[in-house]
Amino acid sequence: MGTGCTNRHHQNRQSHYRCANASRSFLYPQFTRGIVEFRDGTKAAARINYHSLFDQMLFINAKGDTLALRDEETIKFITLATDTFFYSEGYVRLISSNRVVRLAEKQVWEVADIRKVGSHDRPANTFAVTSYKTLTDGFGRTLDLVLNEDLVLRKNVHYYFGDLHSHFIPAGKKNLLSFFSKEHNGLAGYLKENNISFHKKDDLEKVAQFLGQYH
């Protein structure tokens, strides 16, 4: 899926991020009641929404302020609507799980194009504008926003495999064989016999089902 978003600098050197539909940065159309369970066993309830552009869980406190969850390493998981999220160097959303492996996905914003601003400093389209000096993508990389350039972003989905201790790695053959070393021989044979795309959810769910047989 793709969404046209840009960032720009003007003569006053304020950096601007532009998005044709800024609401697409949120996973849910509105803040939803969720439960945060911490590693020490405590729980907290709040109205929560996931912001994919900044890879943050935002919540509304008792005063009505919108804040971001901090100290994410202390979070065991978050249940939100029908979804479950884990934190492993960023938030991932659970797709499926069994007694061996968890399969999860992450919505990330990636740089699709960098365009020079035309004459009179006018964009080709009209966007809602919010001011930023830097932009951090879904992988934690910080981009400095450059004078007179439009940064076009595209939202993509990346997949992750995890163990039952909430450690996740990007889906890929090398990562998978290393992560599940005990099942290496059988898994290597399965991947050799089957044409698996690590960019397709259906294929990855089949891999997860195969690994589930080892328990």
pLDDT in tens, the chain (215 residues): 344 454 443 333 333 444 434 557 889 999 999 999 999 999 999 999 999 888 999 999 999 999 999 999 999 999 999 999 999 889 999 999 999 999 999 988 877 777 766 544 555 443 433 444 555 555 555 655 555 667 777 888 999 999 999 899 999 999 999 999 888 889 999 999 999 999 999 999 999 999 998 86
Contact 86, 92 (CB under 8 A): yes
Domain boundaries, the chain: 5-171
Beta-carbon neighbour count of residue 37 at 10 Å? 15
Q: How big is the chain by its Cα radius of gyration, in Å?
A: 20
Q: Which two tokens stand for residue 32?
A: 């939803």
Question: In angstroms, rounded to a whole number, what is the distance separating the alpha carbons of residues 215 and 207?
Answer: 14
Quote the pTM value: 0.75
Q: Map residue 139 onto helix, strand or coil.
A: coil
- What pLDDT does 32 receive? 95
Q: What does the alpha-carbon distance between residue 45 and residue 90 come to, in Å, rounded to a whole number?
A: 21
What is the DSSP-derived secondary structure letter of residue 171? S
Q: How many CB atoms lie within 10 A of CB 207?
A: 22
pLDDT of amino acid 12? 36
pLDDT at position 128 is 38
Q: Which helix (H) or strand (E) holds 189?
A: helix 184-193
CA distance 144 to 159: 27
| Beta-carbon count within 10 A of 118 CB | 11
